[in-house]
């Protein structure tokens, strides 16, 4: 699917969803229900009061959080609702700075159909204290902290023009959703904020991400098991760990990943570019029909990476083969600079070698300070090659 077609789909989705939100929608202003923009008093009760009224309305409704800084402890917006509901965030919602060990969301949207979240406001997770304690990149038995935004089983939704700032964990988590679009999302956290993935998707069908700016300490976008029909377009990523499928195979009964299109993106000073990662000594799985096209790399450490020996901090047996089958993958028109000499690494499973992998129009140059030449490395794969190849792919 080309970029033009992808944007047409997004426009149609916007029109369909917005058709439920008409100009004469019933408006609920949280300040009319006791919310104070003092940055101290939690507006949880005001938010829940407005949500209950909006969700129960048989006609479209809109909740407004005006300009100002509002404290919010924690809230879950739960459906189903009787009609379309829109939340317009114009100000800043600020999470508690103290630490909680629950792995839920700070702001959660659940079981909602026909929903819009917009405005130019900010969700401030105040995550600095949690980052010092977050060791999930080192340990399997770790403590999970609150994510800024969770979307659980939400369908036919538009999330647009908002900012997620300094989440304690993932910024946005998408689980069990269908037909959900993220447009012009800003994600901001420092490079040293661990596990603050920008958008993480799992077990969702039909997710569209267009024109986000993501600067974080984890993956800009990561796809877990069960991700299907995922369209990622015009992402500005960096700093961060790049755009990743996976990691996969760590848990039993993972669902297949299929239908992933990543196009027209720019990655700057990231740890990785576009990558697919699975655990060795893993549970069985399948990842197929994944396509990365027209990607610009600027000083990216690992621009193109298939890593079926993903084993951070030696949490597994690297000598065992991954049981995740990767097939039908393409990397096309990947260009720019690699910060390391090894610009392309395709390390597939010895037991289930990668199948039907295509590389075309690879034009990467080494931007590092050593005298080494740019190179590629391949194992358990025989890719199909076309067009320019710099570095030469799988050259011995």
**Rounded distance between C-alpha atoms, residue 311 and residue 302, angstroms:** 16
Tens digits of pLDDT across the chain (396 residues): 555 555 555 555 555 555 544 467 899 999 999 999 999 999 999 999 999 999 999 999 999 999 999 999 999 999 999 999 999 999 999 999 987 656 689 999 999 999 999 999 999 999 998 998 877 666 666 677 899 999 999 999 999 999 999 999 999 999 999 999 999 999 999 999 999 999 999 999 999 999 999 999 999 999 999 999 999 999 999 999 999 999 999 999 999 999 999 999 999 999 999 999 999 988 999 999 999 999 999 999 999 999 999 988 777 887 899 999 999 999 999 999 999 999 999 999 999 999 999 999 999 999 988 899 999 999 999 999 999 899 999 986
Q: What's the maximum distance between 2 C-alpha atoms anywhere in the chain?
A: 70
Helix (H, G, I), strand (E, B) or coil at 55: helix
Chain segment 202-220, per-residue pLDDT in tens:
999 999 999 999 999 999 9
Residue pair 63/88 in contact by the 8 Å Cβ criterion: yes
- Token digits of residue 60: 């479209």
- The CB density around residue 93, as the number of other CB atoms within 10 Å, is 23
Q: What is the CATH number of domain 3-390?
A: 2.160.20.10
**Rounded distance between C-alpha atoms, residue 255 and residue 248, angstroms:** 10
Listing DSSP states for 267-282 in one string gives: EES-S-SEEEEE-SS-
Residue pair 27/62 in contact by the 8 Å Cβ criterion: yes
Give me the pLDDT at residue 135, please.
72
Taken in order 67, 70, 74, 77, is the CA torsion positive or negative?
negative
CA distance from start to end of the chain: 34
Give me the pLDDT at residue 54, please.
98
Give me the pLDDT at residue 145, please.
86
Residue pair 215/189 in contact by the 8 Å Cβ criterion: yes
Give me the pLDDT at residue 7, please.
56
Residue pair 112/87 in contact by the 8 Å Cβ criterion: no
Phi, psi of 148 (to 5 degrees): -60, -50
Kindly report whether the peptide bond that precedes residue 342 is cis, defined as omega within 30 degrees of 0: no
Q: Is the pTM for the entire model greater than 0.75?
A: yes
- The CB density around residue 313, as the number of other CB atoms within 10 Å, is 10
Helix (H) or strand (E) holding 360: strand 355-366
In 3D space, the residue among 76, 225, 50 whose CA is nearest the CA of residue 146 turns out to be: 76
| Residues designated as active site | 241
Give me the pLDDT at residue 101, please.
59
In 3D space, the residue among 326, 279, 275, 276 whose CA is nearest the CA of residue 301 turns out to be: 275
Give me the pLDDT at residue 193, please.
95
Domain edges within the chain = 3-390
**Rounded distance between C-alpha atoms, residue 254 and residue 242, angstroms:** 23
In 3D space, the residue among 289, 290, 283 whose CA is nearest the CA of residue 352 turns out to be: 283
Chain segment 251-265, per-residue pLDDT in tens:
999 999 999 999 999
Phi, psi of 93 (to 5 degrees): -100, 130
């Amino acid at each position: 699917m080309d970029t033009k077609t992808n944007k047409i789909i997004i426009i149609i989705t916007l029109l369909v969803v917005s058709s439920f939100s008409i100009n004469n929608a019933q408006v609920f202003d949280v300040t009319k229900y006791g919310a104070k923009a003092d940055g101290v008093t939690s507006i949880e009760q005001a938010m829940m009061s407005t949500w209950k009224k909006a969700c129960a309305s048989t006609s479209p409704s809109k909740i407004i959080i005006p300009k100002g800084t509002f404290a919010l402890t924690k809230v879950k917006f739960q459906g189903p609702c009787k009609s379309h509901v829109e939340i317009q965030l114009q100000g800043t919602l600020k999470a508690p700075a103290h630490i909680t060990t629950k792995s839920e969301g700070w702001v959660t949207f659940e079981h909602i159909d026909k929903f819009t979240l917009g405005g130019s406001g900010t969700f401030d997770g105040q995550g600095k204290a949690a980052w010092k304690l977050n060791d999930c990149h080192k340990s399997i038995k770790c403590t999970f902290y609150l994510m800024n935004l969770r979307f659980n089983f939400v369908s036919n939704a538009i999330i647009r023009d908002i900012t997620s700032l300094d989440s304690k964990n993932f910024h946005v988590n998408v689980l069990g959703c269908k037909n959900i679009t993220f447009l012009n999302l800003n994600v901001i956290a420092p490079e040293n904020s661990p596990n603050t993935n920008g958008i993480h998707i799992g077990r969702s069908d039909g997710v569209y991400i267009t024109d986000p700016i993501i600067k974080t300490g984890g993956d800009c976008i990561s796809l877990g098991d069960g991700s299907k029909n995922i369209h990622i377009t015009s992402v500005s990523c960096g700093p961060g760990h790049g755009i990743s499928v996976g990691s996969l195979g760590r848990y039993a009964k993972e669902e297949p990943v299929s239908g992933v299109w990543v196009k027209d993106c720019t990655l700057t000073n990231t740890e990785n570019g576009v990558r697919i990662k699975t655990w060795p000594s893993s549970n069985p799985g399948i990842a197929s029909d994944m396509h990365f096209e027209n990607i610009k790399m600027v000083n990216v450490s690992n621009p193109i990476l298939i890593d079926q020996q993903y084993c951070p901090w030696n949490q597994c047996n690297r000598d065992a083969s991954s049981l995740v089958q990767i097939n039908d993958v393409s990397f096309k028109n990947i260009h720019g600079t690699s910060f390391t000499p090894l610009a392309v690494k395709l390390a597939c499973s010895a037991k289930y070698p990668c199948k039907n992998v295509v590389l075309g129009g690879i034009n990467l140059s080494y931007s590092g300070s050593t005298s080494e030449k740019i190179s590629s490395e391949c194992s358990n794969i025989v890719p199909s090659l076309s067009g320019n190849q710099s570095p030469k792919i799988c050259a011995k």
